[in-house]
């Protein structure tokens, strides 16, 4: 079955491409197939015939859930979830107030309990492809009013906002009034024993596929460049601390730190930053993403310091002593003092990062400053002592000469 999927992707020219080609394919509207089985009657959206429940007989688009036989997939039209204004085509709605976002309908294969959003009657069928479902707001109807973009509309960037390409071949996003703080999603598909693939698919179903990027396929640069024209936007990094650091470094290089706020959805292990920010140790249930997006929209903001640590190797001056035992004891004492400083700094840094009480944070910060100041003074003290010049008093030579007027028999001339 994997050979069929590989063949289909090669037909769609998705086998190998450079960064610019990937940018164009990311917005092309082509389906992304994967093999799947079906527990209830499901129908091919190409030939309209029933799909077998056997896995090897059915393909599904990971973004829009378009269904197809493996023999029909090559004939499927590239009508996946819209990503840009150009991909909407003739369905665009324009009037004197501007451009409206239309519904994007997919026919049939509705849930058993589906209700029409207009008349509230049961819609869909297990006997045939029947009735429509919007890929954006999930409305199931027999008619097509304007699309409100669903429950995640605050986070969604509508396809109408992506309407031009710059000189480098990258899509440029405009800022419609309804899109004040869209969400840019980065997923590390390798995190959590490759669980990131599930989250990648789910995010593309909930949002505009153009705002969801795989860090393992091009890194964060393309997504940040797409969003850099927004006055404010939010970023969600799905992965470990390494993925977060990668995105933060790219934000610094593009000077976007004043425009964006970053949240973390922990995948896999080693998620210390996610724990500190209150997102927990790990997330492995992709079905909870709608609720997570709602929490993200209501989340508060905290400032995060990033430190550049510079390490220099230098030799500490040693005080010469007549007794070797005394010198060894002095070195042991210095080592013990350094360990004490290290424990104190670690303890108070932990309080600053984890405590929500202002008094505790201020108190720990004061103690931390005094500790660092004392440590610097202790390190500088041996250097000052070795540079101090020890001078002994030198007697002036006695010379004899003529006495000044009114003087005695002889005097010192200095």
Residues 393-409 pLDDT 10s: 555 444 444 444 443 33
263 close to 289: Cβ distance less than 8 angstroms: no
Q: Which one has a higher pLDDT value, 215 or 269?
A: 215
Residue 326 reports pLDDT greater than 70: no
Q: Which one has a higher pLDDT value, 66 or 348?
A: 66
| pLDDT for the residue 183 | 92
Out of 3.30.565.10, 3.40.50.10330, 3.40.50.1820, 3.40.50.300, select the CATH number for domain 152-313. Answer: 3.40.50.10330
CATH number of 1-80: 3.30.60.20
| pLDDT for the residue 372 | 79
Beta bridge partners of 261: 234
Q: Which one has a higher pLDDT value, 90 or 255?
A: 255
Residue 8 reports pLDDT greater than 80: no
Per-domain boundaries in the chain: 1-80, 152-313
Q: Which of the residue ranges 2-6, 217-221, 365-369 has the most confident prediction, judged by mean pLDDT?
A: 217-221
Burial of 343: CB neighbours in 10 Å, binned 0-12, 13-18, 19+: exposed
Residue 167 reports pLDDT greater than 60: yes
Helix locations, 241-301, DSSP H: 241-253, 272-276, 289-298
Q: How far apart are the first and last CA of the chain?
A: 108
| pLDDT-derived band at 356, boundaries 50, 70, 90 | confident
Distances in Å between the Cα of 405 and the Cα atoms of 235, 317, 399, 408, 412 are 94, 57, 18, 9, 14
Q: Which one has a higher pLDDT value, 375 or 1?
A: 375
In angstroms, the CA 390 to CA 186 distance is: 65
- Encode pLDDT of 180-237 as tens digits: 788 999 999 888 777 889 899 999 999 999 999 999 998 999 999 888 888 889 999 9
| pLDDT for the residue 404 | 41
| pLDDT for the residue 334 | 66
Mean pLDDT of the chain: 79
Beta bridge partners of 264: 237
| pLDDT for the residue 340 | 75
| pLDDT-derived band at 272, boundaries 50, 70, 90 | confident
In angstroms, the CA 150 to CA 208 distance is: 12
208 close to 87: Cβ distance less than 8 angstroms: no
| pLDDT-derived band at 410, boundaries 50, 70, 90 | very low
* Least trusted range by pLDDT, from 26-35, 126-135, 233-242, 379-388: 379-388
| pLDDT-derived band at 345, boundaries 50, 70, 90 | confident
| pLDDT for the residue 200 | 92
| pLDDT-derived band at 165, boundaries 50, 70, 90 | confident
Residue 391 reports pLDDT greater than 90: no
- Encode pLDDT of 234-256 as tens digits: 999 998 888 888 999 999 889 88
| pLDDT for the residue 82 | 92
Total residue count of the chain as it appears in this document: 414
Residue 63 reports pLDDT greater than 90: yes
Interval 10-36 mean pLDDT: 68
Residue 53 reports pLDDT greater than 50: yes
| pLDDT for the residue 186 | 95
User: Helix (H, G, I), strand (E, B), or coil: what is residue 157?
Assistant: coil
| pLDDT-derived band at 145, boundaries 50, 70, 90 | low
User: Helix (H, G, I), strand (E, B), or coil: what is residue 107?
Assistant: strand
């Amino acid at each position: 079955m994997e050979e069929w999927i590989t063949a289909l992707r090669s037909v769609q020219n998705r086998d190998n491409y450079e960064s610019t080609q990937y940018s164009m394919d990311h917005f092309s509207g082509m389906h992304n197939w994967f093999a799947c089985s079906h527990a209830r009657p499901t129908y091919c959206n190409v030939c309209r015939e029933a799909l077998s429940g056997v896995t090897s007989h059915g393909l599904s688009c990971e973004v829009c859930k378009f269904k197809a036989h493996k023999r029909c997939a090559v004939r499927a039209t590239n009508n996946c979830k819209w990503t840009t204004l150009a991909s909407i085509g003739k369905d665009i709605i324009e009037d004197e107030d501007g451009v409206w976002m239309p519904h994007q309908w997919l026919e049939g294969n509705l849930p058993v309990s589906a209700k029409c959003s207009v008349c509230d009657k049961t819609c869909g069928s297990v006997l045939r492809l029947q009735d429509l479902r919007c890929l954006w707001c999930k409305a199931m109807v027999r008619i097509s009013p304007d699309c409100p973009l669903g429950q995640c509309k605050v986070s969604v960037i509508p396809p109408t906002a992506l309407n031009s390409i710059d000189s480098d071949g990258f899509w440029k996003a405009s800022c419609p009034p309804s899109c004040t703080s869209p969400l840019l999603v980065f997923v590390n598909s390798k995190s959590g024993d490759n669980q990131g693939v599930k989250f990648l698919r789910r995010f593309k179903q909930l949002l505009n596929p153009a705002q969801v990027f795989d860090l393992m396929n091009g890194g964060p640069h393309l997504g940040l460049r797409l969003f850099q024209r927004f006055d404010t936007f939010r970023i969600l990094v799905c992965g470990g601390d390494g993925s977060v650091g990668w995105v933060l470094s790219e934000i610094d290089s593009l000077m976007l730190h004043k425009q964006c706020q970053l949240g973390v959805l922990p995948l896999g292990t080693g998620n210390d930053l996610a724990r500190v920010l209150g997102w927990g140790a790990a997330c492995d249930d992709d079905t909870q993403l709608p609720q997570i997006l709602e929490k993200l929209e209501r989340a508060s903001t905290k400032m995060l310091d990033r430190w550049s640590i510079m390490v220099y190797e230098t030799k500490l001056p040693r005080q010469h002593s007549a007794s070797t035992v005394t010198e060894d004891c002095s070195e042991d004492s210095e080592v013990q003092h350094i360990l004490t400083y290290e424990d104190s700094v670690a303890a108070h840094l932990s309080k600053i990062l984890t405590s929500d009480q202002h008094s505790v944070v201020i108190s720990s910060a004061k103690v931390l400053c005094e500790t660092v100041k004392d440590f610097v003074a202790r390190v500088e003290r041996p250097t000052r002592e070795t540079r101090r010049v020890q001078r002994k008093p030198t007697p002036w030579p006695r010379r004899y000469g003529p006495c000044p007027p009114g003087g005695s028999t002889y005097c010192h001339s200095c």
